[in-house]
Each structure stands twice: as C-alpha cells, then as structure tokens.
Amino acid sequence: MKVAVGCDHGGFPLKEVVIEAVKAAGHEVIDVGTYSADAVDFPDFTKKVGEKVQSGEAERGVLICGSGIGAAIAANKMKGIYASICHDTYSAAQGVQHDAMNVLCLGGRVIGPELVKVLVPAFLGAKYLGEEKGGERFAKRVNKIKELES
C-alpha cells in the first residue's frame, strides 16, 4: 500500500525512522515533508497527508509532531480521516481493526526510534474488521462516526 508520511519540526527527528519502517513493512512512502528541522506549522503537513488519504493516492498516513496531539486534532477535522495518537502496538492495530483508523499520529518528543519500529508495522499490518463476517458491530460504530462528520 501507499503510505503518506508528514511531520513538523518536532517530528522531523523521527521521520526517517518512520519512512524506513514503512519500507521495511513492504509499503511505498509518499513523503510530503517537512524536509528539515526548521520551524513549520503542523497543520500544513497534516493537510498534505490528509489530502493524500482523502484522494486515495495513499491508503494510510503517518503524522509526526512534537506530541502527536496537534496533528491528531487537525487530521480529525478532515472528512474521512480517522487519526489517533498511538504509542503502544495494541492501540496502533486495534484502531484500524475496530475504528477504521487510517492515520497514525506519533509524538516525536514522546517516543523514540525503537518504538516507531514496532508501532508502524502494527498499524500497517492491521485490517479493518468491519467489512469481515462478524464485524457488523464495528461497521455500525464507524457508520455512527461518519454520521457525526455530516
């Protein structure tokens, strides 16, 4: 799958680790920046990742800002983007499986590279269960989330 990756200056130190983890999991990266540690605004890069997912150019996205919080808040303002901060592998996978999460948010000043190397594969390896037999309860809940967007 294609995965859009974006960050601000607070997430920049982890960006290459994220990119390598995406590639190591067998996926293609769409790097939307930032490309240096110079100060930038996270909503600009959140928008770039979100638009790639909204358009279908990317199936999923990974955002990294200082805490992960700002990127998650901004991403969830975009229709069809279901983003969350996940700093444990259970949440990174379960967010996809149960809640159709399509953007993983990470705190570049909160976690280190070794955790990134397990979080990204957990996120990318998970599949939404709402479309599977027995997944009706997940689909029902996700549909209620979609109603909130309207």
- The gap from C-alpha 44 to its chain's centroid, in whole angstroms, comes to 15
87 catalytic residue (yes or no): no
Tokens 């990470």 locate to 106
98 catalytic residue (yes or no): yes
- The gap from C-alpha 146 to its chain's centroid, in whole angstroms, comes to 18
Residue 79: CB atoms within 10 Å: 9
Q: Is the peptide bond before 89 cis (omega within 30 degrees of 0)?
A: no
- The gap from C-alpha 72 to its chain's centroid, in whole angstroms, comes to 9
Candidates 65, 86, 87, 105; catalytic one: 65
Token pair belonging to 117: 């190397």
Residues marked active site are found at 65, 98
